[in-house]
Amino acid sequence: MKSSLERLQAYWQRNAAIWITLLLVIGLLLYKPGIVISILVLSLVVLVHEYGHYFVMRRNGITVTEFSIGFGRTLWSTKLKSGTVFSLKPILLGGQAVPVAEGPGSFATATRWVRFKVAMAGMFFNSLAAFVTLTAIVYVTGRMPAILWPYVSWAPHWMIPVLVGLLGSFGIWLATPVLVVWLLCTSLATFFAGSAGPIGIIAMGSQAAAPGMTLAQMVLKYAMFFY
């Protein structure tokens, strides 16, 4: 029969990652709330992106073994009705929808058209989320990215939020390859200065939670940040 100390050691070995992560989140929330909120927003973006892959794979007969948010050791997991294991991991800077490796229902045995749809699904779902977010922002606040105004100023007032949402989501997605080539050809410095990976996004997000900012202003900034 195990002693109390042995049971405590076994519990700590199983749950150390969870408690350490929780303490880090609480510490950051107390001292750097902007960083925590940015990580959560980034995780939401990843969740939407990976759900796009998951949704299309499931709709096209590909078996998904795991749908995870974050990297590292699993903090929490549950098995969905589809048989997919949904898991949450401590390093919230990514995620993945993992199809079965081989055999029937694998990604490798799917047709080229299905593989193409799966590859595009993540960006499509992100663009859809951006469209909903940006359209709602314009409807509620009347504010929009200034760069889009010349392209929608001709439209009736009721149509402007939808047009801004389309241009700022699917429009940017479709135009991105052309914009990247143009920026690379005109100014490498401008291209790399305007690019930011997950760490850069978190840094920008921490600036969005500047002292003295009202809750309404912060919500608007993070909504724009998600878009």
Amino acid at 105: G
Q: Cα separation of 153 and 159, whole Å?
A: 10
Q: Cα separation of 26 and 41, whole Å?
A: 17
Q: Cα separation of 190 and 80, whole Å?
A: 45
Q: Cα separation of 212 and 192, whole Å?
A: 31
Residues 6+ apart with CB under 8 A from 190: 183
Active site residue 50: yes
Indicate the SS3 state at residue 94. Answer: strand
Active site residues: 50
